[in-house]
Structure 1
Amino acid sequence: MTTFSVPRPARGRAILAVARKAAFAACLILSASLPTWSHAAPIEVTDAIGRKVQLAGPAQRVALNFNFEEFTAVAGKDGWSRVVGISRTPWEGWRPAIFRRYVDVIPNLRAMPDIGHSDDGTFSAEKIISLKPDVVLMAEWTWSSQKTVRDQLGAAGIPIVVIDYNAQMLDRHLASTRAIGKVMGTESRAEELAQLYEGSYRQILDRLPSVATQPRKKVYVELAQAGADTVGNSYAGTMWGRIVTTLGAENIADGKLPGPWGPLAAEAVLAANPDMIVLAGSSWVNRPKAVPTGHDAAPEATRRAMQPYVQRPGWDGIKAVRTGEVHAIEHGLCRSLTDFVPMQYLAKRLYPAVFRDLDPEAAMKSFHARYLPVPYSGTWMLPIQP
């Protein structure tokens, strides 16, 4: 049998060629496995308070402090695959019924690491740093109260983007929405939401001059959490109080509270004789006398819980009670990307001739269908009488 041998130099070149091919193939495999942001250009994000924040590219690891539903609307359900930690208390603790619905469609929420909460002293730079996030999306009220944590994150090289829907200012709503979109690489979705919000907001404000000649309607808002036996908080200059005055109505709590919120004396409510009463409800746990609203609330249950309020001493003489202008509204809506919906509802009840064409429930349903993974259901706002 004839045998052929490869000369040693040629054999060496052949081995080297095979090694080079293997190395090249390994590089291709490695590059395919790297996250796409490793090749992305750096980006600059302008946050809600005007800070310019530099990021290496759209974030792949996000720590989220608040505004969970706003984040979902802007980043989409898939955006949660890049979240590595949240402040669980403001969502799971405050609104567990809503949190559970999101867990059903976003499985990694169930075991999501907790980065702590500023109000109870558990907000932790150490926890955040251990998760190695590219960025922290932080609520303005956390930013303002947590300077030590901010400094520690800065020292660790972790950028912070401030989000602020709580200020109830149009420019901050828009800046927050666009900032989330920039961070997550979903700018077109964010811009669509920003334009939806601004258009809906201005649609209301642009019509208010036509009611300026009418007598100002007087409105009383009460947090309906502990039942009619307890006078709940009212609001001045913030939350529902700010929405009421934005709509050109008179908030009867203005000038009568020691701070931005607190109980308004029963005598003051009777003396003011408001044209409208708003009971802010929610899906609180262990609050059997609360006015229930939200995904799981049936209209009959909400109206049944409202009845003890209108049966308070003297309330039968209040104009709002006599005319049926007593309303329940989901408390969580007042400082959010969907707060234009309760604004529509209240505007339509205050000035029916001017806002007759608005359909706030349809707006809420549409928002859920287009931007949220959780379908619309339940009771979010309604009058005491069908």
Structure 2
Amino acid sequence: MYLKHIVGGFLFALSTLVAAHAEEVTVTDVAGREVTLDVPVKRVLLGEGRQVHALAAIRGDKVFDDVIAWRDDLMGSDADSYALYRAFAPQIADLPRFGYIPTGTFDVEAAIALDPGVIILNLEQFEAARESGFFQFMDAAGVPVVFVDFRADLDKNGDPSLRLLGKLFDVEEKAEEYIAFRHEQLGRVTDVLEKAKPEKPVVLLYRAPGISSTTACCKTFGSYNFGRMIEQAGGINVGSAFGDTTYVDINPEQVIASDPEHVIVTGANWESVSDIQEFVSVGPGAPEGPALKRLASLVQAPAFTGIRAVREGKVHAIWHQFYNNPYDYVAVQRFAKWFYPELFADLDPDATFRELHERFLPVGYRPGYWVSLSGNMN
């Protein structure tokens, strides 16, 4: 009986300490919504599995602490990263998985039944959440919802999203450290270009070819996302001329007329979601040989006949998921080195990515995130 009282008293004191540590705050998310919730957050439902990339950068080996469920996209859209993180944290294989609000596959009742302390959604889901009544359901259940954005407008929303996550998970200092690292690495390209003012090459970013039989040439990026990264790296993005948006479709004739000096294909391991299996598989640990073979095959399409990039072998592939996380500076460095190999002879994007892993992430670096038909990999 005496021991029972001691244990009971200890548990009460512990619960009081935890409650005292929690603080109710009001934050403003990147959708401009004011949300009141307890921090540090507990019982987190990630509305996109690929948010793990941002979360890992500021939480390190605690990345999955407090995560109780997530969207099912990481497994299909970024299978190699999922395997990497599953090896680090095998328990993630058992996390409940949810669908996507814009496609109507998100199970609202199942989410509420998990009693999450917060649901973190990507900004592109905002309109669908508003139109479907998602907010009303969650408000009625007392579940806070916040939005982050590493896709639509990383320039505008990347730092605020990282700071918001830092606040939610009580790692604000780490978030600021990562933000400083990101800007330092971007500056290694933008500062050099500002001084040198080189003649800019025309660049076509070919978005996710070979993943689906229903995808015609050519999907690309407008002036945002990868399009913005091309510009930061000193290139002229073909897609920016056709839309001040994230995604743009252009026809083969427009590709030929643009005559890009570089073609950059985005790819990943999409084996479980592709119906034609012709994508370029790049990502953590991806072998170079098969990726180069697929890349060479893709640019044999009529849209690329005779263009300068193919004639000169300036055809490259890069990990598609750079478009959806705050590792954009790695892609910018890689682009800059492809565009201006002499100007950036001392820049090593592979070393930059390795440093990111060593300083911030809980998983080791495995090369394989890009390939080039030109062989200019240094």
TM-score range, shorter chain: 0.7 to 0.9
Q: Aligned partner of 1:112: which letter?
A: L
Secondary structure of the 2:206 match is strand
Q: Are 1:380 and 2:369 counterparts?
A: yes
Residue 266 (structure 1) shift: 2.0
The corresponding residue for 1:85 is 69
The corresponding residue for 1:218 is 202
Query: Does the 8 Å CA contact 1:116/1:124 hold for their aligned counterparts?
Result: yes
Residue 199 (structure 1) shift: 2.0
Against the structure 1 CA distance between its residues 251 and 370, is the aligned structure 2 distance closer, same or farther, given a 3 Å change threshold?
A: same
For residues 4 and 74 of structure 2, the distance between their equivalents in structure 1, rounded to whole angstroms, comes to 50
Of 110, 116, 120, 1:137 maps to 120
Query: Does the 8 Å CA contact 1:281/1:292 hold for their aligned counterparts?
Result: yes
Query: Does the 8 Å CA contact 2:224/2:244 hold for their aligned counterparts?
Result: no
Against the structure 1 CA distance between its residues 353 and 109, is the aligned structure 2 distance closer, same or farther, given a 3 Å change threshold?
A: same
For residues 164 and 259 of structure 1, the distance between their equivalents in structure 2, rounded to whole angstroms, comes to 15
The corresponding residue for 1:110 is 93
Secondary structure of the 1:254 match is helix
The corresponding residue for 2:162 is 177
Q: Which has the larger radius of gyration?
A: 1
Residue 29 (structure 1) shift: 3.3
Q: Are 1:351 and 2:324 counterparts?
A: no
Residue 101 (structure 1) shift: 2.4
Alignment of 1:195-210 (within 5 A): 195-210=180-195
Secondary structure of the 1:162 match is strand
For residues 37 and 78 of structure 1, the distance between their equivalents in structure 2, rounded to whole angstroms, comes to 21
For residues 265 and 249 of structure 1, the distance between their equivalents in structure 2, rounded to whole angstroms, comes to 21
Q: Are 1:363 and 2:352 counterparts?
A: yes
Q: Whose RCO is larger (CA < 8 A, sep 6+)?
A: 2
Residue 122 (structure 1) shift: 1.6
- Deviation digits for residues 183-226 of structure 1, max 9, x if unmatched? 112222212111111222233333332344x4331111112432
The corresponding residue for 1:32 is 14
The corresponding residue for 1:271 is 257
Q: Are 1:252 and 2:238 counterparts?
A: yes
Against the structure 1 CA distance between its residues 379 and 24, is the aligned structure 2 distance closer, same or farther, given a 3 Å change threshold?
A: closer
- Deviation digits for residues 155-187 of structure 1, max 9, x if unmatched? 222222211111233341111111112111222
Residue 142 (structure 1) shift: 1.6
For residues 79 and 288 of structure 2, the distance between their equivalents in structure 1, rounded to whole angstroms, comes to 20
Against the structure 1 CA distance between its residues 125 and 313, is the aligned structure 2 distance closer, same or farther, given a 3 Å change threshold?
A: closer
Query: Does the 8 Å CA contact 1:58/1:184 hold for their aligned counterparts?
Result: yes
Query: Does the 8 Å CA contact 1:342/1:381 hold for their aligned counterparts?
Result: no
Q: Aligned partner of 1:45: which letter?
A: V
For residues 35 and 320 of structure 1, the distance between their equivalents in structure 2, rounded to whole angstroms, comes to 62
TM-score under structure 2 length normalisation: 0.86
For residues 368 and 73 of structure 1, the distance between their equivalents in structure 2, rounded to whole angstroms, comes to 8
Q: Are 1:294 and 2:283 counterparts?
A: yes
Against the structure 1 CA distance between its residues 94 and 138, is the aligned structure 2 distance closer, same or farther, given a 3 Å change threshold?
A: same
Paired-residue identity, %: 26
Alignment of 1:6-45 (within 5 A): 23=5, 26-32=8-14, 36-45=18-27
Residue 32 (structure 1) shift: 2.7
For residues 228 and 210 of structure 1, the distance between their equivalents in structure 2, rounded to whole angstroms, comes to 42
Secondary structure of the 1:354 match is coil
Q: Are 1:339 and 2:328 counterparts?
A: yes
Against the structure 1 CA distance between its residues 184 and 320, is the aligned structure 2 distance closer, same or farther, given a 3 Å change threshold?
A: same
Residue 252 (structure 1) shift: 2.1
Alignment of 1:158-197 (within 5 A): 158-197=143-182
For residues 30 and 77 of structure 2, the distance between their equivalents in structure 1, rounded to whole angstroms, comes to 24
For residues 261 and 53 of structure 1, the distance between their equivalents in structure 2, rounded to whole angstroms, comes to 30
For residues 79 and 34 of structure 1, the distance between their equivalents in structure 2, rounded to whole angstroms, comes to 25
Residue 360 (structure 1) shift: 0.8
Residue 241 (structure 1) shift: 2.1
Against the structure 1 CA distance between its residues 185 and 310, is the aligned structure 2 distance closer, same or farther, given a 3 Å change threshold?
A: same
TM-score under structure 1 length normalisation: 0.85
For residues 335 and 145 of structure 1, the distance between their equivalents in structure 2, rounded to whole angstroms, comes to 19
The corresponding residue for 1:15 is none
The corresponding residue for 2:319 is 330
For residues 314 and 143 of structure 1, the distance between their equivalents in structure 2, rounded to whole angstroms, comes to 35
Structure 2 residues not aligned, in runs of 5+: none
- Deviation digits for residues 328-361 of structure 1, max 9, x if unmatched? 1111112311111011111122233433332111
Secondary structure of the 1:136 match is strand
Deviates more, 1:314-323 or 1:194-203: 314-323
For residues 342 and 86 of structure 1, the distance between their equivalents in structure 2, rounded to whole angstroms, comes to 26
- Deviation digits for residues 293-349 of structure 1, max 9, x if unmatched? 012421122111111234345846322223322111111112311111011111122
Deviates more, 1:276-285 or 1:151-160: 151-160
Q: Aligned partner of 1:105: which letter?
A: F
Residue 264 (structure 1) shift: 2.5
- Deviation digits for residues 203-259 of structure 1, max 9, x if unmatched? 3333332344x4331111112432899524122223322322344422223344797
Query: Does the 8 Å CA contact 2:317/2:372 hold for their aligned counterparts?
Result: yes
Structure 1 residues not aligned, in runs of 5+: 1-17
Of 146, 151, 154, 2:129 maps to 146
The corresponding residue for 1:10 is none
Q: Are 1:97 and 2:55 counterparts?
A: no
For residues 168 and 302 of structure 1, the distance between their equivalents in structure 2, rounded to whole angstroms, comes to 29
Query: Does the 8 Å CA contact 1:369/1:375 hold for their aligned counterparts?
Result: yes
The corresponding residue for 2:223 is 237
Against the structure 1 CA distance between its residues 258 and 355, is the aligned structure 2 distance closer, same or farther, given a 3 Å change threshold?
A: closer
